[in-house]
C-alpha cells in the first residue's frame, strides 16, 4: 500500500512539475507533453508490477507456511496412528502371552492331577499286593499248621503216643 501511495504522489509531483515548467524537460530542452504522461504511465506500470511481485511473493510465503503446517499435522497424525497401532499390537501380544500362560498353567495342573492319581493308584495297587501277600502267607501258615495237625492225628497214632511217652 505504501508503494502505491508513493507512486501516486510521484505522479502528482511529476504532473505539477510538468505544468509549472510548461512541459520543459529536466535538461532544459523542450519536450512534448506526451512524454511525461508516458513516463508517468510507465512509472505507474512498474510500480504496479513491483506491487504485484511483492504480493505474489507474500502469497508464496503464506502458501509455503500453510504447506509446512499441513506436513506437520500429517506427521503428527501419522505418529499418533503409529503409536496407537503399537499400543494395540502390544496389548494383543500381552493377551496372547496371558493365554499361553493360562494354558500352560492348566496343563501343569492337569499333569499334576494325573501324577497324583497315578501315585494313588500305585499306592492302592501296592496296598492290595501287600494285602494279597499277607493273605497268602496266612493261608500258607494255616495250611502248614493244618498239615502238621493232620500228621499228628492221622496215621501217626503211634507217633503221638510215642511222643507222649517220650515226654
Q: How many CA atoms, within 13 angstroms, populate the side-chain half-sphere of residue 12?
A: 6
Mean pLDDT of 111-124: 94
Q: Is residue 102 part of a domain?
A: no
Q: Is residue 143 part of a domain?
A: no
Rounded-to-10 torsion of CA 33, 35, 40, 42: 150
Q: Is residue 117 part of a domain?
A: no
Q: Is residue 67 part of a domain?
A: yes
Q: Is residue 86 part of a domain?
A: yes
Domain count, the chain: 1
Identify which of 46, 55, 35 has the alpha carbon closest to the alpha carbon of residue 6.
46
What is the model's pTM?
A: 0.40
**pLDDT(98) > 90:** yes
C-alpha distances (whole Å) from 110 to each of 2, 93, 98, 105, 114 are 91, 25, 18, 9, 6
Q: Is residue 15 part of a domain?
A: yes
Q: Is residue 113 part of a domain?
A: no
Range of the domain at 58: 2-95
Amino acid at each position: 500500500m505504501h508503494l502505491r501511495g508513493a507512486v501516486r504522489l510521484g505522479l502528482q509531483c511529476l504532473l505539477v512539475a510538468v505544468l509549472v515548467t510548461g512541459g520543459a524537460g529536466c535538461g532544459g530542452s523542450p519536450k512534448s507533453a506526451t512524454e511525461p504522461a508516458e513516463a508517468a504511465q510507465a512509472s505507474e506500470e512498474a510500480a504496479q508490477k513491483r506491487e504485484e511481485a511483492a504480493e505474489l511473493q507474500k502469497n508464496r510465503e503464506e502458501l509455503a507456511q500453510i504447506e509446512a503446517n499441513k506436513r506437520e499435522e500429517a506427521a503428527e497424525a501419522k505418529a499418533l496412528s503409529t503409536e496407537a497401532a503399537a499400543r494395540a499390537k502390544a496389548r494383543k501380544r500381552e493377551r496372547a502371552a496371558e493365554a499361553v500362560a493360562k494354558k500352560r498353567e492348566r496343563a501343569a495342573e492337569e499333569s499334576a492331577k494325573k501324577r497324583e492319581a497315578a501315585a494313588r493308584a500305585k499306592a492302592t495297587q501296592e496296598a492290595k499286593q501287600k494285602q494279597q501277600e499277607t493273605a497268602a502267607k496266612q493261608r500258607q501258615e494255616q495250611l502248614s499248621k493244618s498239615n502238621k495237625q493232620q500228621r499228628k492225628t492221622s496215621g501217626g497214632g503211634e507217633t503221638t503216643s510215642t511222643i507222649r511217652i517220650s515226654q
